[in-house]
Structures are given as structure tokens and as C-alpha cells.
């Protein structure tokens, strides 16, 4: 069998190049020749939290490249098209993906940007849908300078949010958020609810895209207007939170937790992304922020950037 190079986890919580047999697409699958892969927090933190590292696995979940083979039941003209994909074992020269978990790459979007799109688009658009978002609403994005939060700011604005408020702990990143569409930026506040209400004439926001958890989740509930919604999807501040149940109940606030992981969920979400979001990517209203593009051989540098929170936007690896 032909071989390919992959990145596999190592016992010292790093990644190393390994040789693996090249996969063959089955029914409903396509085979991509990867050109770029995007590093997500989970690729690093999941490895850090594991009791043991399975060195037989392949890391990664996002890739972009060209379709080089197509399953027997699919349209064979897919071969040669540029796609990005959400799929396990993505850090490889050749990657098999469920065709439902791919999105076509618009002509004017470079592949290094495309690699950073699938997870952010499906997560942020899925959260907006879960929160019942409608054009004209006010939206608060917490942890807005995370890689997916940066996309959330753009997406909410592009889909018609009247006002987007973004939070960050870094004053140096405030201008970036404004450039991406945030109308207001709140810097590391201990009283987020009060600041948000001051910015919304005392009303609070209609919807919160909440990426932090920890101490921020409770503040996000307090930042909502009556009958507002918080969609919780991230753990940047840790998995535990304390809520003021009075604020939740008396404010009639809806708290929705989301995690998009099953094959059918991903297929449905990426289907709506193709229809409703890719046009916004194609015309430039929504683009990922790329911190850096790092050579495959220097993957340790990518791990270091992500592990220590030193990146602004996605870190992308370029395959040889």
C-alpha cells in the first residue's frame, strides 16, 4: 500500500511525523490532498488533559486541499475541486472525509484561510441558530478574540445584528475587533453586565455568544435583556461556573448549551453554512483571522503558540 506522512501525538505531549498507509475513500467519502491544516485549541488541550497518549492516532480536525479521489456512489466530477473539511485525523497528507462534512472553497479564498473556516463557521452559525438570532438584534460575543470568536463577531454583523458588543482582556486587540465589525469593545470588566447595559440604554442584549464559561457565564446572563438568550459553547475560563439563579429566572433568560459533534449534526450544520454563510465568505464579509502559517516540520512552534495562548486567530500548518 502507498504511504503518506501524518502528525501523531507523542508521549511528551508533542507531535511527530509518522508514516501511515494512505486511505481509500468509501461510499459517501472523498479523499483530499491536504495543503493546509488549522490547529484548534482542542488539538492541544485535549492531548494535555489525556491520562495516556495513543501514539497510533493522527491529530487534527480541520484541513483544506484538493479532492483527488471520490467514493463510488458520489459525483465523480468532485475530483479536482478545492474543499475544506471537518474530519478526524486531519493532520495528514491524504485525508478521507465524509462528503457532507466538506465545504467548497470560494475562488478568491486562499486555501490557508479555508483550512481555518469549517469549525468556526459551523460553531458560530450553529450558535446563532440555537439562540434564535434575527437581524436587528443586539449580540454580545464573549472571548471575542478567540479564533472562533473573531468569526462570530463578523458573522453576527454580516447577518444583520444591529449592535455587536465584543469582550477581550487585551486593549491591544480592541482595534482588531472594531475592524471586524464590533460596535463596542468591553475590556476585561469585573462588571460585564453593568457595562453592557450601559451600552444598550439599560436594556441588555438579545443574545450572547458565550465562549468563556468560568466567571463570565454568570455575567453574561446578567447582561441579557428580559427574555434574552445565552448560548454557551466554549471553556476558555474553565468548565465550572457559578450562576445567579435569580438573574436567570426573574430575567426569563434562556441558557442553551451547545456542542456539535455527531456526524449528522455536522452534516446538517455544514449544509446551512454552504447555503447561508459561504456567500458572506465569498464576498469578503466573513474571513478567518490567521495568526501565522507555520511549516509542517515546525509543528512544535504551533503547539507552543496555542498552548500558551499567544496566537491571535488561527495557527495554520503548511504541508510540504
Q: Where in the chain are the domains?
A: 3-117+288-318, 120-257
Q: Enter the C-alpha cell of residue 226.
A: 428580559
Predicted pLDDT at 45: 78
pLDDT of residue 236: 86
Do residues 78 and 70 lie in contact, with contact meaning Cβ atoms separated by under 8 Å? yes
Q: Is the pTM of this model over 0.85?
A: yes
pLDDT value at residue 242 = 87
Using CB atoms within 10 Å of the CB of residue 79, give its burial: 0 to 12 exposed, 13 to 18 middle, 19+ buried: middle
**Using one digit for the tens of pLDDT, what is the confidence trace for 236-265?**
888 888 888 999 999 999 999 998 888 999
Q: All 3 cell numbers of residue 132?
A: 434564535
Its CATH class, for the domain covering 3-117+288-318, is: alpha beta
Query: What is the radius of gyration, based on Cα positions, of the chain?
Result: 20
pLDDT at 297: 95
The confidence score (pLDDT) of residue 193 equals 94
Least confident segment among 1-10, 116-125, 140-149 = 1-10
The CA distance from 31 to 90, in Å, is 11
Please report the beta strands in 270-318, taking only residues with DSSP state E, as ranges in sequence order: 290-295, 314-318
CA angle 58, 261, 66 (to 5 degrees): 55
Cα within 13 Å of Cα(266), Cβ side: 19
Phi-psi region of 308 (alpha: psi -120 to 50; beta: other; left: phi over 0): alpha
Tell me what percent of the residues of the chain surpass a pLDDT of 70. 99
pLDDT digits (tens, 9 = 90+) for 50-84: 667 788 899 999 999 999 999 999 999 999 999 99
Each residue of 175-230: pLDDT tens digit? 999 999 999 999 987 899 999 999 999 999 999 999 999 999 999 999 999 999 99
Instruction: State the Cα–Cα distance between residues 97 and 288, nearest whole angstrom.
Output: 22
Instruction: Give the pLDDT confidence score for residue 34 in this predicted structure.
Output: 98
CA distance 273 to 54: 33
Comparing CA positions, the residue from 97, 58, 59, 92 lying closest to residue 81 is 97
How far apart, in whole angstroms, are the C-alpha atoms of residue 53 and residue 168?
Answer: 33
d(CA 73, CA 248): 50
Any idea what the Cα angle at residue 276 is, between residues 275 and 282, rounded to 5°? 90
pLDDT given for residue 50 in this prediction: 66
Q: 120-257: what fold? A: Quinone Oxidoreductase; Chain A, domain 1 (3.90.180)
- Mean residue pLDDT of the chain comes to 95
**149, pLDDT greater than 90:** yes
Q: Do domains 3-117+288-318 and 120-257 have the same CATH topology?
A: yes
Average pLDDT over every residue of 101-125:
97
Nearest-angstrom CA–CA distance, 182 and 200: 14
Residue 232 φ then ψ, to 5°: -100, 125
Asked if the model's pLDDT at residue 112 lies above 70, the reply is yes
DSSP 92: B
Amino acid at each position: 500500500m502507498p504511504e503518506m506522512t501524518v502528525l501523531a501525538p507523542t508521549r511528551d505531549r508533542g507531535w511527530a511525523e509518522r508514516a501511515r498507509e494512505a486511505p481509500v475513500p468509501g461510499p459517501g467519502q472523498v479523499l483530499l490532498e491536504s495543503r493546509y491544516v488549522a490547529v484548534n485549541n482542542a488539538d492541544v488541550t485535549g492531548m494535555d488533559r489525556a491520562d495516556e497518549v495513543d501514539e497510533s492516532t493522527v491529530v487534527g480536525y480541520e484541513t483544506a486541499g484538493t479532492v483527488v479521489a471520490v467514493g463510488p456512489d458520489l459525483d465523480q466530477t468532485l475530483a479536482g475541486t478545492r474543499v475544506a473539511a471537518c474530519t478526524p485525523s486531519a493532520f495528514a497528507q491524504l485525508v478521507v472525509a465524509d462528503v457532507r462534512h466538506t465545504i467548497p472553497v470560494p475562488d478568491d479564498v486562499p486555501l490557508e484561510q479555508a483550512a481555518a473556516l469549517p469549525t468556526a463557521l459551523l460553531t458560530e452559525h450553529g450558535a446563532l441558530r440555537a439562540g434564535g438570532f434575527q437581524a436587528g438584534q443586539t449580540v454580545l460575543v464573549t472571548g471575542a478574540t478567540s479564533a472562533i470568536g473573531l468569526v462570530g463577531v463578523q458573522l453576527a454583523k454580516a447577518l444583520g445584528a444591529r449592535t455587536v458588543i465584543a469582550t477581550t482582556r487585551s486593549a491591544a486587540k480592541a482595534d482588531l475587533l472594531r475592524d471586524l465589525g464590533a460596535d463596542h469593545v468591553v475590556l476585561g470588566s469585573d462588571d460585564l453586565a453593568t457595562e453592557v447595559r450601559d451600552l444598550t440604554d439599560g436594556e441588555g442584549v438579545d443574545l450572547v455568544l458565550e465562549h468563556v464559561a468560568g466567571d463570565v457565564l454568570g455575567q453574561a446572563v446578567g447582561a441579557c435583556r428580559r427574555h434574552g438568550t445565552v448560548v454557551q459553547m466554549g471553556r476558555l475560563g474553565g468548565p465550572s461556573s457559578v450562576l445567579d439563579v435569580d438573574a436567570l429566572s426573574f430575567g426569563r433568560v434562556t441558557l442553551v448549551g451547545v456542542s456539535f459533534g455527531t456526524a449528522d449534526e455536522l452534516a446538517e450544520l455544514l449544509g446551512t453554512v454552504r447555503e447561508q454563510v459561504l456567500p458572506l465568505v465569498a464576498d469578503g464579509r466573513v474571513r478567518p483571522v490567521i495568526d501565522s502559517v507555520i511549516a509542517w516540520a515546525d509543528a512544535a512552534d504551533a503547539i507552543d503558540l496555542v498552548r500558551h495562548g499567544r496566537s491571535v486567530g488561527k495557527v495554520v500548518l503548511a504541508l510540504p
